[in-house]
Chains A and B, each alone.
Chain A
Amino acid sequence: MKSFIKILVIVLVMVSFTSCADKNGKNYQYMPNMYESVGYETYQKVDFLPSGMEAGIPVENTIARGKMPYKFANGPEGKELARLQLSPLDSLNTEANLAVGAELYTIYCGICHGSKGDGNGNLVSREKILGVPNYSDVGRNITVGSTYHTIYYGLNSMGSYANQLNEEERWQVSEYVMKLKQDLTK
C-alpha cells in the first residue's frame, strides 16, 4: 500500500510538470533584456500614442518619404481623367517590367482575375467571389491609366492595392494587365 502511494505521488508530480508545458505560452528566456527590444516593436501597444499602438495612420497633410501623391481623385470622374494617362515607366525596359508585373500579378490579382485575365481565378472557380470581369470586356475599355486608377483606389467590390504595391510596381502590374488584354482580344 505504501509503495502504491509513493507511485501515485511520483505520477502526480510528473503530471503537474507536463501540464505546465503549454503551447499557448512563451518559453522562459535567459536574459530578457537582450531579447526584448528597447525601442517600440511593430504593432506594439503604446499607451501614450493616439492610436494606442506603435502603428498609426500617416499624419494628415503630410507625404511619406519616397511617395508621390496621385493627381486623380477617386470616383468615376477621376477615373475618366486617369484613362488618358500613359505609363511613366521606361519603354526601353518593357521586357523586365513585364516580367516583374507578371510575378506581382500572379500574387495579387490572379487569385480572382485569373492567370490569363479572363476573370476565372481560383476564388472565382470555387465560387467564393463572383462577377470578376474579363479584361477584354468592351464596355469597360480599360487602359493602362484606368487600370492604375483602379489598383490605387479599388473599384466597387475590389479593394485598393496601394498598400501592397508601390508606385512603380503598380505601373508594372498595369502594363502587364494591358498585355493580358491584348492577348485576350487577339
Chain B
Amino acid sequence: MKKVTYRNQFSKVLGVSLLVCLFFSANLFSQDETTSAGDAVKGKSLFNQNCAACHSLAKKMTGPALANVETRLAEEGLDKEWIYAWIKNSSGVIASGDAYANKIYNEYNKAAMTAFPTLSNADIDDILAYTAAPPPAPVTPAVATAVTTGDAQANGLSNEIILGALVLVFGLLVMMLFMVNKTLTRIAEANGIAVEKEASQKRTPIWKAFVKNQFLVLVSVIFLLLSGAYFAYGWMMQVGVDQGYAPIQPIHYSHKVHAGDNKIECKYCHSSARVSKHSGIPSLNVCMNCHKSIAEYSGNPEGPSAEDLANGYTNEFYTGEIKKLYAAVGWDEENQKYTGESKPVEWVRIHNLPDFAYFNHSQHVSVAGIECQTCHGPVEEMEIMQQFSPLTMGWCINCHRETNVKVEGNEYYDKIHAELSKKYGVESLTAAQMGGLECGKCHY
C-alpha cells in the first residue's frame, strides 16, 4: 500500500511541475505576441499547415531553418516585399534572375518551393511573427525529462531498498530463533533436564515395506510410466515450435509505437503481404518515408508511461534508435542528404515455417481478408515483437475447419461454391470443405 501512495505522490509532483512549466511557457508566448506585428499563434497553425513539411524553425530540412528569417534576410538587404514575392511565387523570383533567390535554389539541390498564392500578406506577417518568436521548446522538455528520469530512478531504487531491508529483517529473525533455541536448551541442561532427542528405534525402513507391498509397486510403476509418457509427449510436441520467440533486434523497433499509438496500417510497411507469398521485412526506404521528417521521438502528449520508464523506454532512448536507422540507411541529418554509405540492418526473422510447408500471405490477406492479428496476435500492443501463434499444423487445420471461405464479390468461387454447398447441404463452406485439409495444398 505504501509503495502505491508514494508513486501517486510522485506523479502528482510531476503533473504539478509540468503544469508550472506549461504555465510559464504560455507566459513567454503571450509576451512575444504583444511585441511583434503579426499574430504568432495564428502564425504557428499556418506554419504547421503550409511550411512545416519542408521547413523547421531550428534545423535544416528540405528547405532552410526559418527561425528569425526576417532579420536574417534583412541583413542580406531583402525586405518584406521580397519575402511576400518569394512565398507567393518562388519560381518567378528565381526566373527574374534575383541573385539571392538563385543562390538558395542551388544550395538546396534545386528543390522548388511550392507557390502559395492563397496566403495573404497578413498571413505571411503572422508566419514571420511565429518564426521571430524564440522557440521555447528546449527549455520546457529539459526540465520535464529531468524530473521524469529522476522519478524512474527513485522508484527503482526504493523498490530495491525495500526488498533489501525485508531480506535483512528475515535473516535477523532466523538468527534470533536459533539463538533462543540454543539458550533454552542450555538453560534446560543447567537445570538438569535432559532434552529428549528423537528416539531412533530400529524400524523396518520405508522402502523395504514398499517393496514388500507388490500391489503398491505395480500401481506406482504404472503411475510413473504414465506421467513419464505424458511429460515426454509434451516435451516432444514442443520441439520445433517457437511460440513466444522474441529475439533482440539490432534496432529496437516498437510495433506498439507505430501500429498502436500512431495507427499505421500493418500493410503500409509489410506491403508485399497483399500481393505475394511473403510478408517481407520492409526495406529502410519505407522507414525513411516518415523518418525523413521524424528525427526525434516525442511520444504521446501525456509523456511516457511509468511502465515504459521502468523498462528504460524514454524519449531519448527511442530517438537514439532513430539515429541507428539514419546510420544504417546513410542519412546525413545535418545536410538532409543521403551519403550513399549504407549498411544493411540484420533483422532477426521471427516467423519461419519449415521448408516443407507452403504458406502464401496474399491468399490469406487479400483473398480471404483475414486480419493480420488473427495469426500474429495483438501486434499493436507489443513493444518487443514475439511469435504469438504456435504455427503448427494442428493450429492451421483448426482454423481451416472453423473459418468460412469469403466468397462474396469473388467470381472465382461462384461455381465451386454453388456445387459444393449443394453437395454438403450447407449455406456457407469452411476452408476445410473447400479442400483446405488436402495434404497437397500445403505439402508438395
Contacts and interface: CB of A to CB of B under 8 A. Distances in A.
Interface of A: 23-30, 34-38, 42-43, 45, 51-53, 55, 75-76, 106-108, 111-112, 119, 122-123, 126-133, 137-140, 154, 156-161, 163-166
Given A30-B240, A111-B268, A163-B283, A130 B289 contact: no
A139 B331 CA distance: 30
B49 A119 contact: yes
Contacts of B298: 127-128
A23 B245 contact: yes
Q: Which of B115, B267, B289 has the most CB of A within 10 A?
A: B289
30 contacts: A23-B247, A23-B386, A24-B246, A24-B247, A26-B242, A27-B240, A27-B242, A37-B355, A43-B280, A43-B281, A43-B349, A53-B344, A76-B110, A106-B265, A111-B268, A112-B290, A127-B48, A127-B298, A128-B298, A129-B53, A129-B290, A130-B48, A130-B52, A130-B53, A131-B51, A139-B118, A157-B54, A158-B289, A163-B271, A163-B283
A122 B283 contact: no
Interface string B120-152: 000000000000000000000000000000000
Contacts of B117: 138-139
A133 B52 CA distance: 10
A83 B247 CA distance: 48
Nearest to A28: B239
Interface in B299-344: 344
What is the predominant secondary structure among interface residues of chain A facing chain B? loop
Contacts of A43: 280-281, 347, 349
Given A131-B49, A156-B53, A111 B263 contact: yes
B283 to A, nearest CB: 7
B118 A159 contact: no
- Closest 8 A/B residue pairs (Cβ): A131-B53, A130-B52, A131-B52, A159-B289, A164-B271, A35-B354, A37-B355, A156-B62
A126 B349 CA distance: 31
B274 to A, nearest CB: 8
B241 interface: yes
B294 A129 contact: yes
A38 to B, nearest CB: 8
A132 B53 contact: yes
B50 interface: yes
B106 to A, nearest CB: 14
B117 to A, nearest CB: 5
Given A130-B49, A159-B289, A163-B286, 12 more contacts: A23-B244, A23-B246, A24-B247, A24-B248, A29-B354, A34-B355, A75-B110, A123-B264, A127-B48, A133-B50, A138-B118, A165-B271
B116 interface: yes
B356 to A, nearest CB: 5
Contacts of A133: 50, 53, 114
A87 B244 CA distance: 48
Contacts of B91: 76
B112 interface: yes
Interface of B: 48-55, 61-62, 91, 110-112, 114-118, 238-242, 244-248, 261-265, 267-268, 271, 275, 278, 280-281, 283, 285-286, 288-290, 292-294, 298, 344, 346-347, 349, 354-356, 386
Contacts of B245: 23, 26-27
A140 B114 contact: yes
A36 B357 CA distance: 11
A165 to B, nearest CB: 8
B322 to A, nearest CB: 12
Contacts of A158: 53, 289
B280 A42 contact: yes
B151 to A, nearest CB: 24
A45 B347 CA distance: 11
A52 B342 CA distance: 13
Contacts of B51: 131
A88 to B, nearest CB: 20
A139 B248 CA distance: 48
B111 A156 contact: yes
Nearest to B275: A166
Contacts of B244: 23
A160 B263 CA distance: 21
A34 B53 contact: no
Nearest to A124: B48
B293 A36 contact: no
Nearest to A38: B355
Contact of A131 (B50, B275, B278, B354): B50
A92 to B, nearest CB: 17
Contacts of A107: 265, 267-268
Contacts of A126: 261-262
A38 B355 CA distance: 8
Nearest to B277: A42
Contact of B241 (A27, A55, A106): A27
Nearest to A130: B52
A164 B62 CA distance: 23
A2 to B, nearest CB: 15
Contacts of B268: 107-108, 111, 164
A137 B118 contact: yes
